[in-house]
Amino acid sequence: MITIIALIIVTLGAINWFAIGAFNFNIINWIFGANLYIIPRIFYVLVGISALWLIWYMVRNWHNILHNRAEHDKAVEKR
């Protein structure tokens, strides 16, 4: 469950960075206001922690990820 939450938070952060890069528009500052600088900082910290969690999750489960991918490739080849 925590991995799904982390994935959602990182996705929201990625969308925000896309908006900043493509349109020079910060969605988080727009939602919470530029004057409330602590809330966007908390969000950015959560994005960073979530990203670290996802990296740790991938490293910890790398063998399972590759094993499942190999099984998928074998199933596709049999079709």
Domain that holds residue 29: 2-78
* pLDDT at 31 exceeding the cut of 80: yes
Q: Tell me the whole-structure pTM to 2 decimals.
A: 0.74
Residue 21's pLDDT band (cuts 50, 70, 90): very high
- 39 versus 20: the higher-pLDDT residue is 20
pLDDT tens for 45-69 read 999 999 999 999 988 888 877 777 6
Averaged pLDDT, 26-39: 84
The DSSP-derived string for 46-70 is HHHHHHHHHHHHHHHTHHHHHHHHH
Q: What is the pLDDT of residue 3?
A: 93
Question: Cα-atom radius of gyration of the chain, to the nearest Å?
Answer: 18
Number of domains in the chain: 1
Residue 11 is encoded by which pair of tokens? Answer: 């996705």
